[in-house]
Amino acid sequence: MPSLTNKKILLGVTGGIAAYKSAVLLRALQSAGADVRVVMTQAAQAFVTPLTFQALSGHAVYTELLDPTQEAAMDHISLARWADLVLVAPATADFMARAASGHANDLLTTICLATASPIALAPAMNQQMWFNQATQDNLRRLTQRGYYCWGPDEGAQACGETGPGRMIEPEMLLQQVETFFCPGELDGVNILMTAGSTREPIDPVRFVGNRSSGKMGFALAASLHDLGAAVTLISGPVSLSNPIGILCSRVETADEMRSVVLEHVENSDIFIGVAAVADYRPRKYTGEKIKKNNEIQTLELVRNPDILAEVAAREKPPFTVGFAAETEQVEHYAEEKRRIKGLDMIAANQVGMDEGGFESDSNALVLLWQDGREVLPMMTKTQLAQQLAGRIAERYHART
């Protein structure tokens, strides 16, 4: 049976250039078995005509709030009640602003107020508009009210700029909808994760650190949360804001990270070490800033505790997943690490190249487990996180 059989989806299309992709999305949703009705804002009709969606969906497209003929066919309250999910794709900055302010000044915003069903947004706009504090404030208000936000993606934009703001591709949106309707792959599962780098202080102004941005770990935490898991994320210093719905704890050093992990690990079903924990820390911390008096300055380093190995070596370890960032012989070293640390699974990636790895927005991974292997090719970290979360869920269930 197709994944979305009997699901009623109200597809809201607002006025962004990504509106043309919504026609493909409509087809994808229908192919998956969904019954789809389309509501378009006035601005959306400047990009794609209602006739396109009417021809594809086989149903009249709703555009007006105060049109007696449209209201007679299915009034706005009936539409709001009919939908199992309202999916606004693309969702423009203006639509988000109107929805966040509780406006009901066109059919789509009115339906959003009138529906008791979940509402998901697939934002699409220029990256500067996305980063604008007003948009971010609106997003926060909407997600706090329970709106789901799928995307945006990062990359080249229609306006010629590059950055976050692209609507996520129709096939990814379809996956989001499918996941949404069959949640719970990780329902009731407690996941403890580390992410980011650690900083090992040398003196009050200097530290030993690394290039990890935390992007992969934060994206993975969000994807695991989407699968229903209760996620606790322990992060080193990164410039990312806490993912919604996830219990976050910020630490600085490997020792602090270890203490917080050990506080939480007892109740965890899965432990995922994404953090690039500093392997060494300065033997001694100098209380005052070290002066540059010497031509050669020696820094003595001592090994940090291996948090992941310690968790995996517990008497009753959680399902344990590690990461391996390597510059050469990636798979060989990763498998060795998996075996020596006693991990259930390891995600290996090549670092030090132009594309992928630490500070990049995209990455590729090789997943290794006891008797299996899978390559997840180069894609954005958000997409990669979704796929990885699915594989972790699969392997976790296979073991338990």
By the rule CB under 6 A, 388 interacts with ligand C5P: no
Q: Residue 237 CB, nearest distance to ligand C5P (Å)?
A: 15
Which of 172, 308, 364, 393 forms a contact with ligand C5P (CB under 6 A)?
308
Interface region with ligand C5P, contact rule CB under 6 A, candidates 48-56, 117-125, 137-145, 304-312: 304-312
Closest by CA position to 386, among listed 173, 239, 189, 232 = 173
Nearer to ligand C5P among residue 236 and residue 243 (C-beta): 236
* Closer to ligand C5P by Cβ: residue 91 or 392: 392
Q: Decide whether 148 or 333 has the Cβ nearer to ligand C5P.
A: 333
Total number of residues that touch ligand C5P (CB under 6 A): 16
Contacts of residues 173-177 at CB distance under 8 Å and 24 or more positions apart, as own/partner, are 173/25, 173/28, 173/87, 173/89, 173/122, 174/25, 174/28, 174/29, 174/32, 175/386, 176/120, 176/150, 176/226, 177/4, 177/7, 177/9, 177/29, 177/32, 177/34, 177/85, 177/87, 177/120
DSSP-derived letter for residue 314 is: S
CA distance 121 to 11: 10
Under the binding rule (CB under 6 A), the answer on residue 273 touching ligand C5P is yes
185-195 CB burial, b ≥16 within 10 A, e <16: bbeebbbbbbb
**337 contributes a contact to ligand C5P by CB under 6 A:** yes
- Site for ligand C5P, residues 165 to 194, rule: CB under 6 A: 194
User: Which residues pair with residue 374 across a beta bridge?
Assistant: 367
User: For residues 243-262, which are near ligand C5P according to CB under 6 A?
Assistant: 254
Tokens standing for residue 12: 């809201």
Nearer to ligand C5P, 19 or 272 (CB): 272
Which of 95, 150, 319, 323 lies at the binding interface for ligand C5P (CB under 6 A)?
323
- Helices 133-144 and 93-100 sit at what angle, rounded to 10 degrees? 50
**Of 304, 360, 363, 380, the one binding ligand C5P by CB under 6 A:** 304
Binding status of residue 306 toward ligand C5P by CB under 6 A: yes
- The distance of closest approach from Cβ of residue 298 to ligand C5P in the complex, given in angstroms and rounded to an integer, is 23
What single-letter amino acid sits at 122? A
Instruction: Using the rule CB under 6 A, give the single segment among 11-19, 90-98, 170-178, 318-326 that binds ligand C5P.
Output: 318-326
Identify the residue among 324, 364, 368, 389 touching ligand C5P (CB under 6 A). Answer: 324
The conformation of residue 265, written as its DSSP 8-state character, comes to: G
Active site residue 159: yes
Q: Which is nearer to ligand C5P, 170 or 322 (CB)?
A: 322
DSSP state of 60: P
Rounded to 10 deg, the angle between the 93-100 and 107-114 helix axes is 40
Closest approach of ligand C5P to the CB of residue 338, in Å: 10
Q: Which one of 277, 366, 367, 389 is in contact with ligand C5P (CB under 6 A)?
A: 277
Other CB atoms within 10 A of residue 290 CB: 14
* Shortest reach from residue 276's CB to ligand C5P, in Å: 7
Q: Is 392 in the site for ligand C5P (CB under 6 A)?
A: no
Residue position matching structure tokens 């329902």 = 187
If one asks whether residue 275 binds ligand C5P (CB under 6 A), the answer comes out as yes
Q: Is residue 249 a contact partner of residue 295, using CB atoms and an 8 Å limit? A: no
The residue from 99, 107, 208, 307 that contacts ligand C5P (CB under 6 A) is: 307
- Pick between residue 137 and residue 266 the one whose CB is nearest to ligand C5P: 266
Query: Which region among 15-23, 168-176, 283-291, 317-325 touches ligand C5P (by CB under 6 A)?
Result: 317-325
* Cα–Cα distance, 367 to 364 (Å, whole number): 10
- d(C-alpha 17, C-alpha 157), whole Å: 10
Q: 126, 156 in Cβ contact below 8 A? A: no
- The answer to the question of residue 125 lying near ligand C5P (CB under 6 A) is no
Q: Is the peptide bond before 152 cis (omega within 30 degrees of 0)?
A: yes
Here the tokens at position 367 are 């997943």
- The span of 14-22, 114-122, 124-132, 271-279 binding ligand C5P (CB under 6 A) equals 271-279
Q: How far apart are CA 108 and CA 114, in angstroms?
A: 10
Q: Does 196 bind ligand C5P (CB under 6 A)?
A: no
Should residue 271 be labelled a site residue for ligand C5P when binding is judged by CB under 6 A?
no
Min dist. Cβ of residue 324 to ligand C5P (A): 5
Residues near ligand C5P (CB under 6 A) are 194, 254, 273-275, 277, 279, 304-308, 322-324, 337
Q: Which residues are catalytic?
A: 159
